[in-house]
Structure 1
Amino acid sequence: MSDKLERDTQDDTKASVGETVSEGLDTLSSSVSTDTRPRWEKFYRSTLFQIIIVGLCSFSAPGLWVALNSMGVAGSADPDLINGANAILYGCMTVTCFLGPWITNLIGFKLTLAFGSIGYPLYAAGLYVNNRFGSQWFVYFGAVACGISAGFFWSIEGAVACGYPEEHKRGRYIATWFTFRNVGNMVGGVINLALNYKANRAGAVGYQTYLAFIGLQCLGLFFGLLLSNPEKVVRDDGTHIEAPRVDWRTEAHEMWRLATSRPILLLAPLFWYYGWIQAYPGTFLATYFTVRSRALASLLSAIVGSISTWLAGSLVDLPWSNRRTRALVTFGVLVALNSSTWIWSVVIQNEYRITRPRLDWSHSGFGRGFGVYMFERISTTFVENYIYWCISNLSDSPGDQIRYSSLLRGIETAAVALSFGVQAIPTPLIVTAALNFGQWFAVLPISLWATLHVIKVFSRKKEVI
């Protein structure tokens, strides 16, 4: 009797387990079979495709813009004109960066990205008109148009790159986004060098250079229209991205909440530093190097920028150590690069203040000064990548990410506007180099504090999960 009861119990248990396994398999089969979308649609709605689209927009808009300015004051023979126009451009961007979240709430991520690309070809058109016909008003018009649209572009591209990807892919996807921008720099650099390689003189580039840039920058609008709004994107685990639109009062409250939060207050000085130093390298290049050397700088700065971008992204992303160690090592590399760069810059600038050289790649002393410019580009790229990695770890919400991007980009553009304005006065380059040197060592301890705080935030998120 007892044996029979035991056998019955075992049979019931087996049946129960069998039913459970069967139900589990049915559930798994059901979950797999529910996604009946075509393969092209799965890719079109994936986070990877969204990063590719943002990258293509970054290639055609800011990437080519940077390529122009990597020649030194956008290839112009008049540094004061271009520095003044860029100061106006970044002044407009400061306002529209802060307005980015409100615009995105009204028209969505896709249209904001597309609209943000419109001003870039107008900026290049202004340079073309000035170069060929000597007119200056179009330079300022293009700067204003680019500043208004680019502020929205900068706020939205960072939000997509930081808020869309899965957590374990963010470092590499941010690097992918920056790489597309650097490819824009490379293409622009090839154009610059191909059209100006015989110009071993000072002055402006040929006007044909700007026509190529205008054509490529017009593509940004069409690339932007291919982006998916967050609610339509599907991550690897099958989840959608939640980014509900809110009214303007709620948006204002959320912006104020983040603006007064510790992460923003700690990262703001580093973003200010990153913005402030951007006026110096181009003016340095235009002052001391020939046209073809500036064109070469446009190409090589994009190449070294891409390498440093992927190095920074891989250091913080790939699992070679725990996350805390990866963050601290990356910060250490950033400190070493920026410290050595600005010490070297001040030494070289003090020498050039006296000798006032005009350097071509055929000259024996070319490498010392050209190397300074390359290291300035490497160190600034490292800073930008690292800052975006930091803010990407503060929140998984695209809504918060666009607010973080808008706030920090607004701070950056205010710094850039002021630095270009100071450079347009004009200000002696030794003074600018010394200010950059001083600002870096002033923000260094605060940046370390910011890094430790970000580590604490993502460690807390991991514990909650």
Structure 2
Amino acid sequence: MTEADNKEQGQLRDVSTEVLPHDPVVRPSGWMYKGFRVGKKEIWYASPTVQLLMVSFVCFLCPGMFNAIQGTGNFGLDDPTAADHANTALYSTFAVVGFFSGTFVNKLGIRLTLSFGGLGYCIYVASFLCYAHTGNVAFNIFAGALLGVCAGLLWGAQGCLMMSQPSEADKGKFISWFWGIFNTGAVIGSLISLGQNVKNASGSVTDGTYAAFIVLMVLGAVIALFICDAEKVIREDGSKVILKKNPGWWSEFKGLWETLIKDPWVMLLFPMFFSSNIFYTYQFGVNGNYYQIRARSLNNVLYWLAQIIGAWVFGYCLDLKGLRRTVRAKACLGALFVLTFAIWGGGYAWQKQQVDRDVVSSKSFDDLYDWNDGGKKYIGPMFLYMFYGFYDAAWQTAIYWWMGAMSNSGRKTANMAGFYKGIQSAGAAIFWRLDGLGMDYTAMFGATWGILAGSLLIAAPVIFWKISDTTDLEKDLEGTGETVEDVVAAPQQHHLAEKESV
């Protein structure tokens, strides 16, 4: 096929190339492919590294700040009513839109879905500022439903980029980088809350806290517009991301169905997807109802710091070069089993000593735990809360890495990310509704722990028999219209040999 024929079919987007110094592969010409050095590594704007950093900062400013204020308990209020109703609406719409978000990402592209997704976060926070002054819970419910739509799109795009763009050898590292930067947003947001409420003995955050979060979230939505489209990304080896040519709405909905039909084993991961956010309801509920606002804010800072550590440990261990990928996958499953019973076993020892939920809800603020209580009332539970954060990062990192180990296709990973976020949100919606109905914390703890442990058992066959040491490229290309030649690395350029011949 001639170059003109390729252009007619829309298969070549930029055929002009140039050889860059110290670069063994050919990249298209243009500013986004101009390399620059960061230490010993050369990167360019349309590289997986830069694009990952950009999507990480979008999540730093949007869901990262959301996590910071949500982690204070009751979304910064002393009454959980508005937060329970809003979160139920949020995760209900998130479950539906999230499940199908891969279709929207594949059709509209990562950049647009990320930017639109970021807008919902600032509106959601604004609804709580409004509620603090008017008591209008209807706005919270509307904002929650809107954020569910927006968050579904944002996380579908994020998951697609993070799993499909890095090379197989770097996926754990990329996940840890993302999770670290993303949760740095939650840490900084928690520090903002802590700084503004360090002398606040009440149960609600200040108006300035809400205002700061709104401004930062708007900035995140704007940054998303500068992410480049996936078809323009070139990896270090010169290969491209696997995408479907000329995707249409019908072909993408069909592709969503084909992912389930051709790879039905992915449904064994659904219980892990379901359980991956349900623990927030118990953890944030306990933090919001047993502690004063400044202690809640400090707990929140430590929780998200522990998440950064957990993502770093698991992400880099999952990329260890001395072990085959199949061995690393199984070792990760074993590590999660150990952590599930060690950390949640410690949580059970603390929970069984606490008063019932209806009792703590009737207590005055002076009776709630503060950081100067020390010992069994604060120091020990503080470390337990940090381990909960570590566990969350380990769980999420493992799921993303396992899914990324099953495919390098942007189309398939977008669909799997959609399944993940949709089912995850269904679980969260159910547990936030149980919280709204006043379910006792001991019962909620038991249900959470049991589902986590059971989901690991159900997922085990996938980890043992469906993850291989490398991904089959031909299988990834099925149904995309792409060929191996479209996505593999360009021929190596022997610069030194050329110079010697001259």
CA contact (8 A) 1:80 1:424 kept: yes
Matched, 1:69 2:67: no
Relative to structure 1, is the Cα distance of residues 447 and 142 closer, same or farther in structure 2, using a 3 angstrom cutoff? Answer: same
Deviation at 1:460, TM superposition (A): 6.6
- Alignment-derived partner of residue 297 in structure 1: 299
CA contact (8 A) 2:78 2:204 kept: yes
- Alignment-derived partner of residue 226 in structure 1: 226
Distance of 2:113 and 2:29 partners within structure 1: 30
Deviation at 1:373, TM superposition (A): 2.2
CA contact (8 A) 1:101 1:403 kept: yes
Distance of 2:128 and 2:313 partners within structure 1: 34
Relative to structure 1, is the Cα distance of residues 233 and 212 closer, same or farther in structure 2, using a 3 angstrom cutoff? Answer: same
Matched, 1:396 2:408: yes
Relative to structure 1, is the Cα distance of residues 167 and 358 closer, same or farther in structure 2, using a 3 angstrom cutoff? Answer: same
Relative to structure 1, is the Cα distance of residues 192 and 167 closer, same or farther in structure 2, using a 3 angstrom cutoff? Answer: same
Distance of 1:285 and 1:149 partners within structure 2: 27
- Alignment-derived partner of residue 405 in structure 1: 417
Matched, 1:326 2:356: no
Misfit runs of 4+, over 6 Å: 28-31, 462-465
Q: Deviations over 1:257-280 (max 9, x none)?
A: 223424421211111111322211
Matched, 1:386 2:387: no
- Alignment-derived partner of residue 443 in structure 2: 431
Relative to structure 1, is the Cα distance of residues 179 and 460 closer, same or farther in structure 2, using a 3 angstrom cutoff? Answer: closer
- Alignment-derived partner of residue 159 in structure 2: 158
Distance of 1:301 and 1:454 partners within structure 2: 33
Q: Which of 423, 440, 447 lines up with 2:459 in the alignment?
A: 447
- Alignment-derived partner of residue 239 in structure 2: 239
Q: Secondary structure at the match of 1:225?
A: helix
Distance of 2:380 and 2:439 partners within structure 1: 23
Normalised by the length of structure 1, the TM-score is 0.88
Matched, 1:207 2:207: yes
Relative to structure 1, is the Cα distance of residues 332 and 462 closer, same or farther in structure 2, using a 3 angstrom cutoff? Answer: farther
Distance of 1:340 and 1:188 partners within structure 2: 29
Comparing 225-234 with 333-342, greater Cα deviation is found at: 333-342
Distance of 1:32 and 1:341 partners within structure 2: 47
- Report 1:299-318 matches (<5 A): 299-318=301-320
Q: Secondary structure at the match of 2:125?
A: helix
Deviation at 1:40, TM superposition (A): 6.5
Distance of 2:474 and 2:264 partners within structure 1: 20
- Report 1:155-194 matches (<5 A): 155-194=156-195
Matched, 1:287 2:289: yes
- Alignment-derived partner of residue 372 in structure 2: 362
Q: Secondary structure at the match of 1:439?
A: helix
Distance of 1:156 and 1:209 partners within structure 2: 28
Distance of 1:376 and 1:154 partners within structure 2: 22
- Alignment-derived partner of residue 11 in structure 1: none
- Alignment-derived partner of residue 7 in structure 2: none
Distance of 1:348 and 1:78 partners within structure 2: 24
- Alignment-derived partner of residue 482 in structure 2: none
Distance of 1:358 and 1:154 partners within structure 2: 36
Distance of 1:29 and 1:431 partners within structure 2: 61
CA contact (8 A) 1:189 1:300 kept: no
Matched, 1:414 2:426: yes
- Alignment-derived partner of residue 4 in structure 1: none
Deviation at 1:353, TM superposition (A): 2.4
Q: Which of 338, 343, 347 lines up with 1:341 in the alignment?
A: 343
- Alignment-derived partner of residue 485 in structure 2: none
- Alignment-derived partner of residue 271 in structure 2: 269
Distance of 2:260 and 2:79 partners within structure 1: 38
Relative to structure 1, is the Cα distance of residues 255 and 203 closer, same or farther in structure 2, using a 3 angstrom cutoff? Answer: same
* Aligned partner letter, 1:436: T
CA contact (8 A) 2:303 2:388 kept: no
Relative to structure 1, is the Cα distance of residues 385 and 350 closer, same or farther in structure 2, using a 3 angstrom cutoff? Answer: same
Q: Deviations over 1:49-88 (max 9, x none)?
A: 1101110111011111111111112111111320221011
CA contact (8 A) 1:293 1:361 kept: yes
- Report 1:75-94 matches (<5 A): 75-94=76-95
Comparing 178-187 with 255-264, greater Cα deviation is found at: 255-264
Relative to structure 1, is the Cα distance of residues 38 and 118 closer, same or farther in structure 2, using a 3 angstrom cutoff? Answer: closer
Decide which structure has the larger Cα Rg and report it.
Answer: 1
Distance of 2:30 and 2:116 partners within structure 1: 30
Distance of 1:273 and 1:79 partners within structure 2: 22
CA contact (8 A) 1:114 1:224 kept: yes
Distance of 1:249 and 1:107 partners within structure 2: 13
Distance of 1:30 and 1:423 partners within structure 2: 56
Task: Count how many residue pairs are aligned between Structure 1 and Structure 2.
Answer: 437
Q: Secondary structure at the match of 2:318?
A: helix
Whose helix fraction is larger, Structure 1's or Structure 2's? 1
Distance of 1:275 and 1:29 partners within structure 2: 45
* Aligned partner letter, 1:249: W
- Report 1:21-40 matches (<5 A): 36-38=29-31
- Alignment-derived partner of residue 97 in structure 2: 96
* Aligned partner letter, 1:273: S
Q: Secondary structure at the match of 2:386?
A: helix
Unmatched 5+ stretches in structure 2: 1-18, 36-43, 361-366, 476-487, 489-502
* Aligned partner letter, 2:446: A
Distance of 2:136 and 2:332 partners within structure 1: 46
Distance of 1:203 and 1:145 partners within structure 2: 27
* Aligned partner letter, 2:136: S
Distance of 1:179 and 1:119 partners within structure 2: 23
Distance of 1:420 and 1:310 partners within structure 2: 29
CA contact (8 A) 2:26 2:238 kept: no
CA contact (8 A) 1:174 1:388 kept: yes
Q: Secondary structure at the match of 2:352?
A: helix
Q: Deviations over 1:259-318 (max 9, x none)?
A: 342442121111111132221111011111110011101211111110100101011013
- Alignment-derived partner of residue 374 in structure 1: 386
Unmatched 5+ stretches in structure 1: 1-25
Distance of 2:120 and 2:278 partners within structure 1: 23
Relative to structure 1, is the Cα distance of residues 37 and 276 closer, same or farther in structure 2, using a 3 angstrom cutoff? Answer: same
CA contact (8 A) 1:68 1:74 kept: yes
